[in-house]
C-alpha cells in the first residue's frame, strides 16, 4: 500500500473541513495562529508533500530550499503577494489561492468602513465611552458627509470591486471606476459603473475604495500627489492590500483635514500600524478582517482543501486544482520526477 501524502496546515481550521483531508492524507495542523520562526516554517515544509498556509505567510526560495518532497501550497485567501511564485515554480511547487468565495463579505465590509468613516461612527463611540455626553451636542458638532446621491469611485474593478459597485444602488450613488483594462459594456451596465481615467477618479469621487492587487505597479499607487487631488470632504477605504497606500502621506492628509476620513483593513507593515494613524480620530482601523464571517471562512478553508485534494488526485477536480496560480510549476515537477528519483523522507 502506498504511503499517504503528508499535508501541513499552518493554522487551526474547521474540524470537519480538515476531516476531508484526513480521509486521504496524513495531516498535521498547528495548534494556534502564532507566527512560526523561519527555521520552524522551513522544517514544516521540508516534512510535507503539500501545505495550507495563512494569508500573510511569506514563502520563497529560502523557505523551500530543503523541501524536497513539497509539491503544492494552498494559500488561504485571494491575495498571494506573500508567495514568491517564480521561486516556487522553479522548484516545481504549485500554488493556489481561494478567489470568489469572499467577494460578498469583503464588499459588505468595505461599505461598513465607508459608512463608518463618512459618519465618524468610531470616533463618536469613543467620545461616549469617555463620558463626554454631559456636554451639549451642537448643530456644528459631529458633522459627517452624506454618501447618498454622491459619487463612489472604485480603483480596481475585479469581482470584489463589482460587488461593491452593485451595493451602491441602494444609496443611489453614481459609480465611476478605473482599472488596468476597461470592463465589457455588459458588465459596466450590470454594475451601473462608468469608466474614467485615474485622475478623474481621484478628483471626482466623494468616496474612493481601493480593491487593487499588490504588485510592483500598485505599490503606493495612492501617495501624496494622489491624495492632494482628492476632494477635502472625500473618504478613502482600503480593503485591498497593505502597501498600495502611502500611509505616511495618508496620515498627513488626514491630520491636516485635506481628506475627511479613511477606513483601513490592511497595512503595509501589518500587524504593525503606522503610529501616526493610531493617533487620528478620522481613520477607522481594522485588523485585516474584511472576509471574517463564519460562512466565508468556512468556504475559504474548504476551497483550500479542495485545491490540495485535487493536486493529490482526489475529488471531482482530481489532477486539476481549480485555483492553480502557476500551472507551469507542475510541468517542472513532472520533468524533475522523471529525471531523478525522490530522496527518502527523513
Angle between helices 103-119 and 121-129 (to 10 degrees): 60
Give all strands (DSSP E) within 65-215, no chain letters.
72-75, 94-96, 151-155, 174-178, 193-195, 207-210
Residue 108's SS3 state is helix
24 is catalytic: no
178 is catalytic: no
Does residue 5 contact residue 49 with C-beta atoms inside 8 Å? yes
241 is catalytic: yes
Element (H, E) at 115: helix 103-119
* Sequence-separated (6 or more) residues with CB below 8 Å from residue 99: 78, 159, 323
61-77 exposure pattern, b = at least 16 Cβ within 10 A, e = fewer:
eebbeebebbbbbbbbb
- Cα–Cα distance for residue pair 76/78, rounded to 1 Å: 7
Choose, from 270, 274, 298, 317, the residue flagged as catalytic: 270
Residue 316's SS3 state is coil
Does residue 254 contact residue 123 with C-beta atoms inside 8 Å? no
Choose, from 20, 162, 214, 241, the residue flagged as catalytic: 241
Residue written as grid cell 469572499: 102
Sheet holding 261-264, edge to edge: 193-195, 174-178, 151-155, 207-210, 235-238, 261-264, 283-285
- Cα–Cα distance for residue pair 73/7, rounded to 1 Å: 9
Residue written as grid cell 504593525: 272
Written as nine digits, the cell of 69 is: 518532497
Active site positions, annotated: 241, 270, 288
Amino acid at each position: 500500500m502506498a504511503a499517504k501524502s503528508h499535508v501541513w496546515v499552518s493554522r487551526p481550521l474547521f474540524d470537519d473541513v480538515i476531516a476531508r483531508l484526513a480521509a486521504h492524507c496524513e495531516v498535521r495542523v498547528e495548534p494556534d495562529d502564532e507566527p512560526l520562526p523561519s527555521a520552524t516554517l522551513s522544517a514544516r515544509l521540508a516534512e510535507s508533500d503539500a501545505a495550507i498556509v495563512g494569508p500573510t505567510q511569506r514563502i520563497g526560495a529560502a523557505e523551500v530550499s530543503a523541501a524536497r518532497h513539497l509539491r503544492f501550497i494552498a494559500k488561504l485567501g485571494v491575495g498571494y503577494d506573500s508567495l514568491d511564485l517564480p521561486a516556487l515554480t522553479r522548484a516545481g511547487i504549485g500554488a493556489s489561492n481561494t478567489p470568489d468565495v469572499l467577494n460578498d463579505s469583503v464588499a459588505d465590509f468595505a461599505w461598513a468602513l465607508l459608512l463608518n468613516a463618512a459618519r465618524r461612527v468610531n470616533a463618536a463611540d469613543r467620545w461616549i465611552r469617555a463620558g463626554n455626553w454631559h456636554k451639549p451636542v451642537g448643530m456644528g458638532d459631529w458633522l459627517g458627509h452624506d454618501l447618498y446621491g454622491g459619487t463612489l469611485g472604485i480603483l480596481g474593478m475585479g469581482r470584489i470591486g463589482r460587488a461593491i459597485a452593485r451595493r451602491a444602488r441602494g444609496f443611489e450613488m453614481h459609480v465611476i471606476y478605473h482599472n488596468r483594462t476597461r470592463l465589457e459594456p455588459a458588465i459596466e451596465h450590470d454594475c451601473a459603473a462608468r469608466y474614467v481615467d485615474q485622475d478623474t477618479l481621484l478628483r471626482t469621487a466623494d468616496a474612493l475604495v481601493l480593491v487593487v492587487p499588490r504588485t510592483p505597479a500598485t505599490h503606493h499607487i495612492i501617495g501624496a500627489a494622489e491624495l492632494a487631488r482628492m476632494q477635502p470632504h472625500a473618504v478613502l477605504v482600503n480593503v485591498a492590500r497593505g502597501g498600495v497606500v502611502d500611509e505616511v502621506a495618508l496620515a498627513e492628509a488626514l491630520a491636516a483635514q485635506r481628506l475627511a476620513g479613511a477606513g483601513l483593513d490592511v497595512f503595509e507593515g501589518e500587524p504593525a500600524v503606522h503610529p501616526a494613524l493610531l493617533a487620528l480620530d478620522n481613520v477607522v482601523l481594522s485588523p485585516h478582517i474584511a472576509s471574517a464571517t463564519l460562512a466565508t471562512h468556512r468556504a475559504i478553508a474548504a476551497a483550500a482543501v479542495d485545491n490540495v485534494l485535487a493536486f493529490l488526485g482526489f475529488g471531482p477536480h482530481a489532477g486539476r486544482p481549480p485555483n492553480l496560480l502557476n500551472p507551469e510549476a507542475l510541468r517542472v515537477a513532472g520533468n524533475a520526477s522523471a529525471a531523478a528519483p525522490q530522496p527518502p523522507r527523513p
